[in-house]
Every structure is written in structure tokens, then in C-alpha cells.
Structure 1
Amino acid sequence: MTGTDHEHSEIVVEAAVWLSGQKDPPQPIIPELRHRFQLTALEACEACAMAQRFRTYRVAHG
């Protein structure tokens, strides 16, 4: 991984953590994540998927 890739990964995780903690996430979420965290469309989609995994884990291990 290059330094840039690592930085992107961290911001994607940060966005996913933020999103997974939102009781009523803003809609549409992809543009919101792109704006709020300066993500690409792909990164915003990755953050959404990661946030869902975080929520699932919390429910399963509550």
C-alpha cells in the first residue's frame, strides 16, 4: 500500500464509523459522504458497505 492508499483507507473507515453511528442518516448518503469526507464515489460506496458491517456486528455482539 502506498501512503496515499493508506490515507484513503483511514478516511473511508472514519466515514464508515460516522455513518454507522447515525440514527437517521442523511439521504442521499453517497453525495453527503463525498462532501463531508472528500471521498470519491467508490470510497463513499465502500464506506457505506463498511458501515453496514459495523452495524451488523454491533447487533450480533450487542
Structure 2
Amino acid sequence: MTVPEHSQSAAVEQAAIWLADLREPPHPVVPALKERFGLSAVEACEAIALADRMRIYRKAHG
């Protein structure tokens, strides 16, 4: 069962915004998000996916 998007935590959203704003994301990304935002590995992956959607939206809509 997948978790609905609207149930993401504030920390996941903050991490996604931070990641989407970076010109060059840190490598590896998951450990960086875990350390910086206190996320679990699953939450870090959710933040990465959300950041990708944010980047796509920004490109499409300026």
C-alpha cells in the first residue's frame, strides 16, 4: 500500500524543497537528507521523488 501524497511530513516537504533548489545535489543523496533533516531512508526517498516532481513543475510552468 502506498502512502498518499498529502500525508507527507513537514520534514519531507522541507527536504524536497531544499533538494529541488540545489543546482548540484549532494552525493549520495539519501544519507545527506537523513543527516540534514533527520529523515528515515523511506522518507528521504519520498523527498527525492517530491523534489523531482517540483523540478518538472518548475520547468513546465516557469
Give the TM-score normalised by the residue count of structure 1: 0.87
Runs (4 or more) in structure 1 with deviation over 2 Å come to: none
CA root-mean-square deviation: 1.2
- Structure 2 unaligned blocks of 5 or more: 1-6
Q: CA deviation at 1:35?
A: 0.3
Q: Give the CA deviation at 1:11.
A: 0.5
TM-score scaled by structure 2? 0.87
Q: Deviations over 1:13-49 (max 9, x none)?
A: 0000000000001100000000000000000000000
Question: What residue in structure 1 maps to residue 22 of structure 2?
Answer: 22
The 5 A counterparts of 1:1-62 are: 9-62=9-62
- Tell me the amino acid that sits aligned with residue 19 of structure 1: L
* Distance in 2 separating the partners of 1:9 and 1:39: 10
Unmatched segments (≥5 aa) in structure 1: 1-5
- How many correspondences in the alignment? 56
Q: Percent identity?
A: 52
